Structure 1
Amino acid sequence: MPYAFSLADVEFLRSPEGEDALARCAHLPLTDASRIADVAAARRMVGERYAAVLETVVLRRKAGAKVARPERWLFGEDALQQASAAPVAAHRARRLAGRDVHDVTCSVGADLVELARTASRCVGSDVDAVRLAMARHNCGAEGAEPLLVRADALRPVTRDCVVVADPARRDAAGRRTWRPADFVPALDELARVYEHRDLAVKCAPGMDPAAVPWAREFEVVSLDGQVREACLWSAGLGSVSRRATVLRSDGTEWTVTDAEPDDVPVAEPGEWIVDPDGAVVRAGLVRQYGARHGLWQLDERIAYLTGDRPPPGVRAFRVLEFEGYSEKNLRAALRRHGVGRVEILVRGLDVDPNALRRRLKPSGPAEASVVLTRVGRTAVQFLCRAERVPA
């Protein structure tokens, strides 16, 4: 079970004594093997607050992918798991720049910090007093100054602000839930309470947009090639039905929407296979992405694209040869090319890449990528060389 922080814990961790305790324990290895020794050392160094100190050190180490300076932050385990990565939160905040914004489920402040940087005025609230105390500390550590209020998200305490919400998506047993009615607070309740307000709700990328008819726009966001989350934008904020936004840690980003042309043919393979970013696939915008870059589909139901020139800045697969798929055919192809290290990508076929690799037992000095998919009812294999296309 995650450690349950108290208000007294937060007060201690924010104090000079707490900062000193955190610094003294920051060097501990905190592995499974060292757990008993680490706890004993922490108790000797910092006394009765050792558990809160050790949990904070562990969570700060985990938080490196979420916030830029985790050594300044306070977290709870659940709050950290649900927190948006800073570039994703910053993207959402930019869409609301210049507006009055109220984050009604601000938790420890991961989104709130970014909203406060761009909003005209910013309010954060949460029903959990401990998370609110952590948010106050974290916002101060980042130089953000939102107004913080303890309040239930379903009992409005502001008027006329854009409302931002991030409902909990785990049940009482800690299992992930996908049903909007099981979110806390429930999506339908949020939409009902704020039906006359502009509303943005963070959700899982697996959400079915049909389950939330109030949402004007369904946006899926990826960061450095990994799909991170989706956001539902109400009518006053959304401008299209579906959007994919692709972010990179270097600050670059691009987006594609369902308002763009989607007229792409289905035809024979070109010189390259392109596997679109996961945000594009999750948002159902493969055809729009293909049309933008002059690509076409191998099969209208499969998300792989093909063409004679891949989009700039992506990792694409130059086709060396292709034929009908069977393990015998694939083993022979790997042998012909002397491939010992092989990456296997699969779409549309019931194939476990790791189990297949073990059965193939590839050997040789070369490396290659194999794309397995289907065209119509035919399983096909592409032996490829992965290349990073210059931006």
Structure 2
Amino acid sequence: MAYRFSRDDVEYLRSAAAVSALAAVDRLALTTASLPNDVQRARREHGERAAALVETVRLRRRAVAKLDEAGDWLFTDDALQQATPSAVARHRARRLAGRAVHDVTCSIGAELVALHRVCPAVIGSDLDDVRLAMAAHNLSGAPNVLPARADALRPCSTDTVVLADPARRADGRRTHDPAKLQPPLPDLLDAYRGRALVVKCAPGLDFDGLAWDGEVEVVSLGGAVREACLWSAEPAEPGVTRRATVLGSDGSSWTLTDDEPDDIPDRAPGEWIIDPDGAVVRAGLVRHYAAKYGLWQLDSRIAYLTGDRVPEGVRGFRILDRLDLREKALRAELHRRDCGPLEILTRGVDVDPDALRARLKPRGSRPLTLVITRIGRTATVFLCETPPVR
């Protein structure tokens, strides 16, 4: 169970006395195997402060993969889990550059760090005193950020863009029910109706069910879909209701919107199968992506694309053969081609890739990929070369 920080813990961790104590704890391994002995040692050396010190060091180590320059930050476990990755926060801040912004669920300040660098004035508010104190520590040296204790559902600023990130856990479990978010999404939208509003949401949310009249942006980072974001008509880009933003782990980025063309041909499969980035799929922009890169769909209801070339930065699967979904015939063909490592991708069919792989028993040396999907009403298998991981 995660340690529960108090205001007193935060005051101590922000003090000069804690610097050497944290450095000493950071020299401990703190692995699963060593943790019991490490905690005992920390208790002998630091007494009642040991739990807060150990938890802080462990959270800082976890934060490295998610947050930039957070080596001396303070966190709670829940706050770190929900904190926006730095690359995503910087992207959102760029879209808000030059505006005054009020983050009404600021938590430990991950969004505020990105905002204060490009916005003239930033307010960060929360009802959690511990997280506010942590945010104040994490934002030290940012004079244009005003921290405040406030209820997100009670507007207390004017002439600002309101940014909100409702907690996505209810009863200890992750939820996709808008009414169970904290604060509830319907209440949040009502509280700021008519205001410039940006709300971070889970990408699995039913956007159509919200009847949202602004923009829905889906963001991926390093190939994994991270979040969706609701943008009110202002400050959203006029004419855009869906946007996919793809952020690379190398710092690259590109975006696609629904005001771009989506006319694509109806043709037989080309030389390649392309699986678009998850942000494109979740944003409903598969046809727009295809039109942009001269591709088309295997089936109008399936997100797999096909074409005679592969867009740069995307994995493409070169088609070797097209087969029926018959396991005996598949097993024989894989054996004939000396298939060993076997990747199985599925869409639109009720197939368990792991169970099917076990039944096909590939034992050769050549890596191959099966793309199993539905074309019309027929389950179809494409045997493909496995592309290298980029």
TM superposition score category, shorter chain reference = over 0.9
- Determine helix, strand or coil for the equivalent of 1:65: coil
Per mean C-alpha deviation after superposition, the further-off stretch among 349-358 and 89-98 is 349-358
Cα separation, 1, equivalents of 2:389 and 2:209? 38
Note if contact 2:121-2:144 (Cα within 8 Å) is conserved in structure 1: no
Instruction: Name the structure 2 match of 1:20.
Output: 20
Amino acid at match of 2:36: I
Q: 1:91 to 1:279 in 2, by over 3 A?
A: same
**Matched residue SS, 2:169:** coil
The answer to whether residue 114 in structure 2 is matched with residue 84 in structure 1 is no
> Is residue 214–residue 233 contact of structure 2 (8 Å, CA) maintained in 1?
yes
Distance in 1 separating the partners of 2:143 and 2:387: 42
CA drift at 1:131:
0.2
SS, match of residue 97 in structure 2: coil
Give the C-alpha shift of residue 353 in structure 1: 1.2
1:72 and 1:53 mapped to 2: Cα distance?
12
Judge conservation of contact 1:10–1:134 (CA < 8 Å) in 2: yes
What is the CA distance between 1:215 and its match in structure 2? Answer: 4.3
Q: Which amino acid aligns with 1:257?
A: T
Q: Aligned partners of 1:66, 1:49: CA distance in 2, in Å?
A: 26
Which residue number in structure 1 is paired with residue 169 of structure 2? 170
Matched, 1:194 2:192: yes
Residues 330-379 of structure 1: CA deviation (Å, up to 9, x unaligned)? 21221122111111111111111112222222111211122111111111
User: Following the alignment from structure 2 to structure 1, what is the Cα–Cα distance between the partners of residues 105 and 137?
Assistant: 16
Contact 2:344 2:369 in 1 (8 A): yes
Aligned-pair CA distance for 1:155: 1.7
For 1:280 and 1:211, the matched residues in 2 are separated by 19
Cα-to-partner distance string for 1:179-229 (whole Å, 9 max, x where unaligned)? 212111122222222123100000000111123224401100000100000
Q: CA deviation at 1:144?
A: 6.8
The verdict on how the C-alpha distance between 1:329 and 1:266 changes in structure 2, with shifts beyond 3 A counting, is farther
In structure 1, how many angstroms separate the alpha carbons of the residues matched to 2:158 and 2:187? 17
Secondary structure (helix, strand or coil) at the match of 1:379 reads strand
Q: Give the number of equivalent residue pairs.
A: 388
1:114 aligns with 2:83: no
- The residue aligned with 1:235 is 233
For 1:1-391, list aligned pairs within 5 A: 1-140=1-140, 145-171=144-170, 173-239=171-237, 240-387=240-387
One-letter amino acid of the structure 1 residue matched with residue 191 of structure 2: V
Distance apart, 1:256 and its partner CA: 0.9
The one-letter code matched in structure 2 to 1:284 is G
**CA distances 1:91-139 after superposition (whole Å, capped 9, x unpaired):** 1111000001010100000111111111121111111110001111111
SS in structure 2 of the partner of residue 201 of structure 1: strand
TM-score, with length taken from structure 1: 0.95
State the alpha-carbon separation in 1 of the partners of residues 329 and 60 from structure 2.
49
Q: Note the alpha carbon deviations across 1:313-341, whole angstroms, 9 max, x for none.
A: 21111111121122222212211221111
- Structure 1 residue 388 displacement after superposition: 5.8
Q: 1:61-86: per-residue Cα shift (whole Å, max 9, x none)?
A: 22122201332111111111111110
Q: Secondary structure at the match of 2:22?
A: helix
CA distance in 2, matches of 1:359, 1:59: 42
Report percent identity of matched pairs. 60
RMSD of aligned alpha carbons = 1.6
Distance 1:274 1:389 in 2: 14
Query: Is the alpha carbon distance of 1:144 and 1:306 closer, same or farther for their aligned partners in structure 2, counting shifts above 3 Å?
Result: farther
Distance change in 2, residues 1:144/1:329 (3 Å): farther
Aligned mates of 1:221, 1:232 — CA distance in 2: 11
Contact 2:120/2:144 (<8 A) preserved = no
Helix, strand or coil: the match of 1:357? helix
SS at match of 1:48: helix
Q: Distance in 2 between matches of 1:208 and 1:297?
A: 24
Q: Separation in 2 of the partners of 1:86 and 1:128?
A: 22
Bigger Cα displacement from structure 2, 348-357 vs 98-107? 348-357
Q: Compared with structure 1, are the counterparts of its residues 144 and 247 closer, same or farther at alpha carbon in structure 2 (3 Å cutoff)?
A: farther
Q: Residues of 2 paired with 1:242 and 1:55: CA distance? A: 40
Q: SS of 1:4's equivalent? A: coil
* Distance in 2 of aligned mates of 1:43 and 1:208: 48
Q: Which of 283-292 and 320-329 deviates more?
A: 320-329
Once the two structures are TM-superposed, the CA of residue 309 in structure 1 deviates from its matched residue by: 0.8
Structure 2 Cα separation of the partners of residues 333 and 293 of structure 1: 32
Find the residue that maps to 1:387 and give its secondary structure: coil
SS of the aligned residue for 1:12 comes to: helix
User: What 5-or-longer segments of structure 2 have no aligned partner?
Assistant: none
Deviation of 1:234 after TM superposition, in Å, equals 0.6
2:332 match: secondary structure: helix
8 Å Cα contact 1:323-1:382 kept in structure 2 = yes
Give me the whole-angstrom Cα distance separating, in 2, the residues matched to 1:329 and 1:258.
Answer: 42
> How far is the alpha carbon of 1:165 from its aligned partner?
0.3
Q: CA deviation at 1:31?
A: 2.9
